Amino acid sequence: MIGYVTVGTKDLEKAAAFFDALLALKGGSRLMQTDRVIAWRGKNPQDCGFGIALPQDGNPASVGNGVMVAIEAASPQEVDAIYKKALELGGTDEARRANGCRAFMPAISAIWMAINSMRFT
């Protein structure tokens, strides 16, 4: 249903290394790369794409209030594997610390953790 999702970054190289490793767990690989944008796609051409970009308007990248991106998982074990990899790559679990919802909705808060940790400086 969604063609792709793009998030802004201040450091394209650091963000690319993070997502190369994280999305590889889902069979993702780079679809395209320019000096301002990198995009990934899963094994299936119908998979939703994911991209990172230096903001086109030249303003600093910032967290979009209410923006959420989900990495689909087939099982609780896959959620845990993605969660663990995000922590290994320097992500932090903002959801558990903020309101404890990881125990209540592990898939959602694992992704919340990953998105909230996208502060590449």
**Which domain covers residue 95, as residue numbers?**
4-56+69-116
* Any domain includes 101: yes
Q: Is the pLDDT of residue 38 over 50?
A: yes
Residue range 79-113, pLDDT digits in tens: 788 888 888 888 777 655 444 444 434 444 444 45
- CATH number of the domain that residue 93 is part of: 3.10.180.10
Q: Is the pLDDT of residue 41 over 60?
A: yes
pTM: 0.63
Q: How many domains does the chain have?
A: 1
* Any domain includes 81: yes
Cβ contacts of 64-71, under 8 Å, gap ≥ 24: 67/7, 67/115, 68/111, 68/112, 68/115, 69/5, 69/7, 69/111, 69/115, 70/107, 70/108, 70/111, 71/22, 71/23, 71/26, 71/111, 71/114
* Any domain includes 61: no
* Any domain includes 9: yes
* Any domain includes 24: yes
